[in-house]
Chain A
Amino acid sequence: MVDIMDTIEPGAESAVDRPLPPRLEVTPGVASYDTPAQFDALPSKLSVHDLDFFYGKEQALFANDLEIKEHRVTAIIGPSGCGKSTHLRCYNRIYELYRDQKAMGEIAFDGANILAPGTDLLSLRRRIGMIFQKPSPFPMTVFDNIAYGLRMHFKLSKSELSERVEDALKRGALWEEVKNKLNEPGLALSGGQQQRLCIARAIAAEPELILMDEPCSAIDPVGTAKIEELLQELKSSYTIVLVTHNMQQAARVSDYTAFFFEGRIIEFGATTQIFEKPVQRQTEEYITGRFG
């Protein structure tokens, strides 16, 4: 019980008093292909160093190293069970919900190691949003779903709140479809709409990094297309990490791709390079569909 209670932060109450960060500027026309020199020059939003992960005694990740570049979409691909979700779940330490799971190594988020003890998990998780495979709207209205993070982290007047909710729904490409349904339960929306609701809910809290674990796997092709389009718009304001099983999706929306295999990062590079000229044999075999 103790380890779970530890995740409740001492700063829980003060979270509300934090000033609202400015809305992130939209800078259109971000290059989708950076040269190696440009890659090195780009600031890393998050850098993973020597990350190991354990489910009890079972090791699931081995010495992962990865740079997540700011304002880029980084895709994580690899066969089922290779550790993609496990890796992603380290970034916001959500795995700590389960007492036998443990991460070791370093994950620097804006320079600070979030795996270090004493990290303020509540503010970390406000700054790092997460979208899950299965849409998970909260059991409340569309409006309250979006307002959930806003109410929790910021002090807002009623009008500011509804303004922010509208803005988040617009950025989540859902406003037109739900503007007359704000007081209906979030669960009454279609699967694809629910997923965009979850994206809008994450965006509303003004995160800097958005983690998505196969966000389209439970969504039909039309819904998927909408979410992919949304990703393109979002990456100018946010840094995105996308786990996907869909090779075409990774190729379409990401700037960088990491290929995972059996808990290790086999290859990491610009998406075009990974898909056109993979260096590692395993990467090539996976991409061309020979295994996985």
Chain B
Amino acid sequence: MTATTTDLSRCPMAPRSVRRRRLVNTVITTSSWIAAAIGIFVMGWIVVTVVVRGIGAWNVAFFTQLPPTGNDPGGGLANAIVGTLVITFGAAVVGLPLGFFGAIYLSEFGRAGRVATGIRAVTNIVLGVPSIVAGMFAYALLVLPSHHYSGFSASVALAFIMLPVMTRTAEDVLNLVPNELRESALAMGAPRWRATLGVVVKAARAGLITGAILAVVRVAGETAPLLFTALSSPYWLSGFFGPSGYFGGPTANLTKDIYDFSQQPYPHLIQLAWGGSLLIIVAVLGVNVVTRLLFQRGKEW
């Protein structure tokens, strides 16, 4: 035996207590089970409550008619459904491409450079900004100068929330693509843009699609940013300009209607609010399931 190795027999290792190990194991396993059970129970409770209370509101009128005026029961949230879809779509049109190309810049070109580091820092800050600030931002940017609320300003507010979410997830997904793939494409004589779009993005596409959809779903249920932007409207969204247009005036949307109607003393309006909540939950769940299917299909190319 050389001088550098320790003589192990001189410091015998006491075996660790098996009983202690088993106890620790049991405690940790049990507590994680309990934590998981509480989480699932609360979520299940919410879903069940919303289904039980909301399903009664779902009839043909709910999906096709305007909210009731005055005290007569009946009517629906059709204008708010359309409004929410349009506002969310508008936000996606602005927010997703910006986030996508921002992420490409960060992961493929900027990397550890100063500009990219700055963008990343700003992205992280914006991620943590309460969503009502996004609403104030769009209010100051669009509503104040134009002197009217609009669906478009709501889209901008939601895009502002969507952008950092998309940028972050897309950058993370692109960073998972191994460098060998980038090198292989470049080594084939591909120009940088072609290697990026044709190979790197393609390799990451399942994750990018998932990230994009989750970013959209993330904002679809937002209420606060709509308070100062879309506001709400008892009318149908009609066209782009004019007092009921997307750019021209307040736009009906589900979350604001849920918020307003749930405060009313009339049971039929409260019922509509539950119906709207159920619709949002079903839509978000549905989109999640579809995304998962897409994700799996994406893996098989």
Listed in ascending order, the chain A residues whose CB lies under 8 Å from chain B are 1, 4-5, 7-9, 12, 15, 92, 94, 97, 99, 121-126, 129-130, 132, 134, 136, 138-141, 148-149, 152-153, 185, 198, 201-202, 205
Contacts and interface: CB of A to CB of B under 8 A. Distances in A.
Interface of B: 109-111, 113, 115, 178-194, 198-199, 202-203, 205, 300-301
Contacts of A124: 189
Among A1, A99, A153, A185, max chain B CB count under 10 A is at A1
Contact of B191 (A9, A94, A185, A201): A9
A12 B188 contact: no
A138 B181 contact: yes
Given A1-B110, A4-B109, A141-B301, A149 B189 contact: yes
B185 A8 contact: no
Contacts, number: 89
15 contacts: A1-B110, A1-B113, A5-B109, A97-B179, A97-B183, A121-B189, A130-B187, A136-B184, A138-B202, A139-B199, A140-B202, A140-B301, A148-B188, A152-B190, A202-B188
Nearest to B105: A1
B200 to A, nearest CB: 9
A92 B187 contact: yes
B189 A97 contact: no
Nearest to A153: B189
Contacts of A129: 187-188
Contact of B189 (A5, A141, A152): A152
Of B179, B189, B300, chain A has the most CB atoms within 10 Å of the CB of B189
Contacts of B184: 130, 132, 136, 138, 198
B109 A134 contact: no
A202 B185 CA distance: 10
A126 B113 contact: no
A78 B109 CA distance: 34
